[in-house]
Amino acid sequence: MFANHPAIHFLYQYSVSFLFQFVAHSNVQQLLASIWYEGLPGFRRKNMVLQAFEIVRIGILFPFFSAAYIVAPHSVIGQTMRKPFIKFICHSASYLVFLFMLILASQRQFLQSFLGLQEEDEELATRRGAKPSLVEWIILSYVGGKQII
């Protein structure tokens, strides 16, 4: 995407010590920030509360954004999903959901007793090799989906 930018070609030709001086320059920092926040115009000018609200909004809507990207990758939402900061927020939200599912899976017996869901044979549910729960199937599909990508 940015491989054709003249500054990137310039960087390939010089040593690492010059690279640090180049990246530290304020003009380069401004270019990198504009590339990073490309999908959210005016994001850097918002106050911290509005920025947090925007990040939470994108994080909550990431399943819909992901489904829209799978269905129509060249649509407006699909192109928005390719922006670096949007991708970062969606990946972070995805990992948070995964961690939440792991917590739910580790609390399987507590949740079953709390929600009143009892299996036919309690001995079968507590011993090793019990049937996977819905949460465990979701975790398996998440891990399997990450292996495909």
Per-residue pLDDT band for 13 (boundaries 50, 70, 90) equals: low
C-alpha 135, offset from chain centre: 19
Q: Does the predicted TM-score (pTM) go above 0.75?
A: no
State pLDDT tens for residues 93-104: 999 999 998 888
* pLDDT band per the 50, 70, 90 thresholds, residue 1: low
The structure tokens listed for 139 are 């975790």
Q: Is the pLDDT of residue 129 over 60?
A: yes
Q: How far is residue 36's CA from residue 76's CA, in Å, rounded to a whole number?
A: 18
d(CA 8, CA 11): 5
Residue range 68-121, pLDDT digits in tens: 888 988 998 888 888 888 889 989 999 999 999 888 888 876 666 666 655 555
